[in-house]
Structure 1
């Protein structure tokens, strides 16, 4: 059980299903009609022509070029543009994401073992396979979209940041932005929390070194006073090699703060105390951020093409949708009788504060769904997405429905915050919520693909549950996956574009 098992499990279903998808739907589908011709231009050596409908940078295209070149090094070495272009078929380009899905599974396995080493390899393997089965991520494994490669780059960035290999992490951060621009938010999130953790580590290390030096001086004095005793050298060794370093680090990592303000001030103090070392360690992230800011100034915005369809909008309801979708996707963690009981107990410990927080959150949520709930033209027109039916058949079934759903949104977010608060600091939880908000609120289009990265981060930091619950959720994911695949494979020839509109009908 381990990395190899995860990669083999993903390949076992991804390879044959990818072949089936390519056999039944050989032509580019949905946004593939933009991505595949663009990368095929790159295969011909045309790097100057750009489709104005493509909104994301060409990071995925570079991955595909490297992938095809690795499979057919002879065509690449001969520099025969026509031969290399013939290799960049729709099927082969789609298989790029099959490889990326295997990498995502391995990275999820390694991240869980790093974040929660007590889970063991067996449970980490099951968890990583579960992540690979998550329906939205799973479906786009078989299409040429940026989502799977984007997740792989972000997870790699996170893993190397946790390992304190900051230059490597920043390189993956830069490449993740080259795949999808909003990944800059996750780079800032990882770097910010990495700086705080690194400053705390340096603070503890410095204090431990000081204490060890005091103990060493004391032991030297005792040895000089007891030079006639045979046990003195042993005493000196025990004092010098005491395990204080480990105890101090554990104590510091588990330190409890009475409030968020105290925790913030403590982080600021430790950052200032080690400002030079922290600045040197995290300068690669600052360099990537400066280049990204220069790109925004040069481009006149964050989106490359189709800017009129992706105008930054105050879509606060998007944050509420994410809470419910994530809580539903992680069902055993959020919607169980024990979870409801835990939340009730959590609120009852401080009734005044929790009642005030619930009322304020509920009021803000009602305001968000009333004033900042956006129906993007793509959402209303393209019925090839689940969101089209959820919007039409659930949210818009009656004018009161969006208000009725508000308490469920609030419950979902309270459950998410409570779960994260059990293993992470308040600053980490606050920065996660702010990162999700910065990624989702400006996006006018409701698209579940945008939720995948924060959902996986949330899953990685959720409490360990039994293998039985993980397997049950895996079977649920598999059922949704197969249903989605069946709907996709056996109805595509009935899609017809309604002339003069952006609407697709069957």
Structure 2
């Protein structure tokens, strides 16, 4: 299929997704017209910005104001065109609808990135993977409410797309926007810059010579320094973030008490389990990857690697398991039930899961190695560790960007083996709309509270 036919297919699916998204948001608004959960902080803050009050800040908000500024960008011009007060447009329903549009933009970026990262990928696998990623239940659900996740992912994906196109100045500007959506995105800026550096290094490798002579060593150093300085827009973003840290005294703004940094090493294994589950049909259908992985398990190097991962996971769950008070207190979130039904069933459960953690992690790393260089895998793994490990709370929303980046870079199947991708997309869509149905139809009632609550991610 040619580029024009591919573009037509992408836009057709995007329009369908937009129509379904609008209809779903209307159902959400009907079931819960008022701000819900974190929206009770986000919506009033956005409404203050919409009327030009930028001095007000809710101390319970922990992220920078990227989400609210994105709302002002469309509310003010539309209000002028329609001769309406901004308060008529900056409603909970409209803010949710805005967020759902980020989901469609993310779908378009997924399609573009898949074609860029995997030159040989055909239309059907590309569309199925993009649909699957767009319908990742945690991402899609938060995109139906006024949460930061969909917009944060959009900014990161757009910055990465621009970087892959060598538009580093624009990528740097969008990277700054990504950080203003969520501070931890500074680590994804590091990933984007690091990926660009490794790509530039690869392209320049034929002209670089490694020598122990003083003259050649200086030339090599200067060449590497030149490659590094070519990525100055990302350095500016990093310097700006460092100044913010000095001024703010913390990564978190607002409520710092319940969002302190911890060493929570099992988070990386919770993330691996999350990614394995939502990619399960694709991974099970990757016969070639499994065959090569099992063949590699006969080699000493692979065995040593898995054993090291097993020891690391045992140490992690024994010494570094963290249980945030929110996880145990709020029965409206699914992680509450995962923790109670799985990990609290018996003390030994967390240890019994470590063989799965080690093998699953080894398999994902092995799969990435089919398309990515060792230094890239080290960069990606390091960023994932730095993003996830300091988080004390087991919160599936933290896994959205790591999962998207992981899934984008896994090797695509051949065009003749698209069935696993279809099942992967169906799994994500089914879990997604099941969660939405539960939100709409299964209320949560508290004895001390007469209001109706809803189950959500």
Assess same fold via TM > 0.5.
Answer: yes
Does residue 1:311 correspond to 2:260, yes or no?
Answer: yes
Unaligned runs of 5+ in 1: 208-267
Paired residues of 1:189 and 1:431 also in contact (CA < 8 A):
yes
Paired residues of 2:14 and 2:104 also in contact (CA < 8 A):
yes
Cα RMSD (Å)? 2.2
State which structure, 1 or 2, has the greater radius of gyration over its C-alpha atoms: 1
Deviation (angstroms), 1:340: 4.4
Partner of 1:118: 120
> Aligned partners of 1:195, 1:30: CA distance in 2, in Å?
41
Partner of 2:244: 295
Partner of 1:16: 23
> Aligned partners of 1:277, 1:470: CA distance in 2, in Å?
42
Partner of 2:97: 95
Deviation (angstroms), 1:150: 0.6
Partner of 2:432: 481
> Aligned partners of 2:201, 2:370: CA distance in 1, in Å?
22
Deviation (angstroms), 1:491: 3.0
Q: Which moved more, 1:45-54 or 1:459-468?
A: 459-468
Does residue 1:343 correspond to 2:293, yes or no?
Answer: yes
Does residue 1:192 correspond to 2:180, yes or no?
Answer: no
> Aligned partners of 1:170, 1:313: CA distance in 2, in Å?
29
Paired residues of 1:136 and 1:448 also in contact (CA < 8 A):
yes
TM-score (normalizing by structure 1): 0.81
Deviation (angstroms), 1:498: 4.3
Partner of 1:455: 403
Partner of 2:44: 37
Does residue 1:149 correspond to 2:151, yes or no?
Answer: yes
Deviation (angstroms), 1:176: 0.4
Deviation (angstroms), 1:137: 1.1
> Aligned partners of 1:6, 1:150: CA distance in 2, in Å?
22
Deviation (angstroms), 1:269: 9.7
Paired residues of 2:282 and 2:423 also in contact (CA < 8 A):
no
> Aligned partners of 1:504, 1:134: CA distance in 2, in Å?
19
> Aligned partners of 1:342, 1:200: CA distance in 2, in Å?
26
> Aligned partners of 1:271, 1:26: CA distance in 2, in Å?
62
Deviation (angstroms), 1:106: 0.3
Q: Deviations over 1:188-238 (max 9, x none)?
A: 01101211211332344x58xxxxxxxxxxxxxxxxxxxxxxxxxxxxxxx
Deviation (angstroms), 1:23: 1.3
Partner of 2:321: 373
Question: Match for 1:397 among 316, 339, 345?
Answer: 345
Q: Which moved more, 1:281-290 or 1:356-365?
A: 356-365
Deviation (angstroms), 1:71: 3.4
TM-score (normalizing by structure 2): 0.90
SS at match of 2:183: coil
Deviation (angstroms), 1:432: 0.7
Partner of 1:73: 80
> Aligned partners of 2:118, 2:270: CA distance in 1, in Å?
28
Partner of 1:170: 172
Q: Which moved more, 1:117-126 or 1:175-184?
A: 117-126
> Aligned partners of 1:111, 1:420: CA distance in 2, in Å?
16
> Aligned partners of 2:149, 2:68: CA distance in 1, in Å?
13
SS at match of 2:37: coil
Aligned length: 433
Deviation (angstroms), 1:72: 3.1
Unaligned runs of 5+ in 2: 1-5, 209-216
Aligned pairs for 1:225-236 (under 5 A) are none
Question: Match for 1:424 among 359, 365, 372?
Answer: 372
Partner of 2:3: none
Paired residues of 2:265 and 2:320 also in contact (CA < 8 A):
yes
Q: 1:66/1:271 Cα in 2 relative to 1: closer, same or farther (>3 Å)? A: farther
Question: Match for 1:496 among 443, 446, 451?
Answer: 446
> Aligned partners of 2:112, 2:380: CA distance in 1, in Å?
21
> Aligned partners of 2:375, 2:315: CA distance in 1, in Å?
26
> Aligned partners of 1:504, 1:474: CA distance in 2, in Å?
25
SS at match of 1:72: helix
Question: Match for 2:230 among 264, 269, 281?
Answer: 281
Partner of 2:214: none
> Aligned partners of 1:438, 1:271: CA distance in 2, in Å?
30
Paired residues of 1:199 and 1:274 also in contact (CA < 8 A):
no
Deviation (angstroms), 1:86: 2.6
